[in-house]
Chains A and B, each alone.
Chain A
Amino acid sequence: MTSHARTPAAQSTAATVLEAQDVARIVDRMAHQIIENVARQGFEVVLLGIPTRGVPLAHRLAERIEVFEGVSIPVGSLDITMYRDDLRLRGVRPLGETIEPAGGITGKTVILVDDVCYSGRSTRAALDAVADLGRPRAVQLAVLVDRGHRELPIRADYVGKNIPTSPSQTVRVNLAEVDGIDAVAVFDKADES
């Protein structure tokens, strides 16, 4: 995973929106929201993280749910590279790992977990990828950051933080498992390098 690590937001032009303790509180809140929503269904739930940063996020949510509720929720990862609609435009890139959660996804409520929701195209690709893995009872979406500018009729069920951005900006989510630090920052694209 180290190959995905990026330098934490150090440039002066970057506005750090969330610090490590903010991220921790938000993950706790999202875990509570998930519990509230799925407790009635007897926790027939799996978390599917979308690589790269959706995967550690899914593991954190599962860990917090276990702490709060004592329920262990299966976690998997879902690579969407082959399902993207811009595959041919962006050329060859490495595939992430797809790990089916223990017990599969058929009949379960699948919660897709990603770091940022932007155009909604990743989520669309993820929906196609889920369909090839099995037939879930329902699919929901949890994102740490919703930055708006949707290009498809998709919305997240659990949102950590709504961050209004302009399309000329970039949102950087750093997670300790991948980047060594927890932080969310907004960059102007021209300054990003």
Chain B
Amino acid sequence: MKNLLSAADLDRDEALAILDTATQMHAIQTREVKKLPPLRGRTIVNLFFEDSTRTRSSFEIAGKWLSADVINVSAKGSSVSKGESLRDTALTVAAMGVDALVVRHHASGAVQQLAGWVDCHVVNAGDGTHEHPTQALLDAYTLRGKLGDLADRHVVIVGDITHSRVARSNVLLLNTLGARVTLVAPPTLMPSAVGTWPCTASWDLDATLSGKEHGDVDAVMMLRVQRERMSGGYFRVSASTPSAMGCHRSVSTCWGRRRRSCIPAR
């Protein structure tokens, strides 16, 4: 596998191999010496055209713990702010003999485009509202830690699906791992092409969590409202825009009520 651009790039065996490896690597983090040698002599550039704390520092620390040399380039303070194009920036960085690029960009599809210009490996660390495959791997890892094998599990993803690259990657990866996914969002926050995704969709959170609509629920994932990506018109004028916390609170209450019936006793 050369690049990781979409969660759909992984087949079931590859995804399971990554998740199993992560389990073993997790144990290594409790050691005094956390560094392992497999990427010694390799160079990774984190090319971030959009703000990030967790993803960038996670990729940096992952690279360093695997003994790679990691360089962070962010759009702010780089030649991008002088007007250099995505292509020029990518080629300039790649020309330095870089082995892998980890790229985040605010435009959907930008990372895919960039991967066609350079020879090195490219990892998508989030492109616009399109995909965020490594976040999906982390989510699947967490779910596996709680639920075990995800085959035939039912995962509900609630929130701002339209603007969430994580939701799309999650649907693809969970589907690969054999889980069923139901997306729940108000009509304006549900992508119009959701019918083509390998999942079911609902507008009714209560009915979904009760298990009446799509069967018993094993896990609920909460997405925040991505106001920074909205260009208005997603909420009724009369209703105030729900805050991310408000959304969480109402669903937590709902889920809390039904917790006992939804989580298998083990």
Contacts and interface: CB of A to CB of B under 8 A. Distances in A.
Interface stretch (A17-25, A65-73, A88-96): A88-96
A87 interface: yes
Nearest to A125: B37
B38 A94 contact: no
Contact of B38 (A87, A98, A134): A87
B24 A132 contact: no
A87 B35 CA distance: 16
A83 B25 contact: no
Contact of B24 (A83, A92, A96, A134): A96
B31 interface: yes
A134 B33 CA distance: 9
Contacts of B265: none
Contacts of A98: 24, 27-28
A51 B191 CA distance: 47
Contacts, number: 31
Nearest to B32: A134
Interface in A58-106: 79, 82-83, 87, 92, 94-98, 100
Contacts of A132: 31, 33, 35-36
A82 B17 contact: no
Nearest to A79: B24
B21 interface: yes
Contact of A92 (B17, B31, B32, B35): B17
A147 B126 CA distance: 50
B21 A94 contact: yes
Interface in B1-50: 14, 17, 20-21, 24-25, 27-28, 31-33, 35-38
Given A95-B24, A97-B24, A82 B36 contact: yes
Contact of B36 (A83, A92, A100): A83
A87 B25 CA distance: 16
B63 to A, nearest CB: 14
Contacts of A163: none
Contacts of B27: 97-98
A133 B17 CA distance: 24
Interface string B105-140: 000000000000000000000000000000000000
B37 A83 contact: yes
Contacts of B37: 82-83, 128
The A interface, classified by DSSP as helix, strand, loop or mixed, is loop
> What range describes how many residues of B lie at the interface?
10 to 19
A116 B37 CA distance: 24
A100 B31 CA distance: 10
B232 to A, nearest CB: 46
A94 B23 CA distance: 11
A87 B42 CA distance: 14
B14 to A, nearest CB: 8
B33 A95 contact: no
A78 to B, nearest CB: 12
A87 B36 CA distance: 12
Contacts of A87: 38
A98 B23 CA distance: 11
Q: Which 4 A-B pairs have the closest CB atoms?
A: A95-B24, A82-B36, A132-B33, A82-B38
15 contacts: A79-B24, A82-B36, A87-B38, A92-B14, A92-B17, A94-B20, A94-B21, A95-B21, A95-B25, A97-B27, A98-B28, A100-B31, A132-B33, A132-B35, A132-B36
Given A94-B17, A98-B27, A133-B33, 8 more contacts: A83-B36, A83-B37, A92-B17, A94-B20, A95-B24, A100-B31, A132-B31, A133-B31
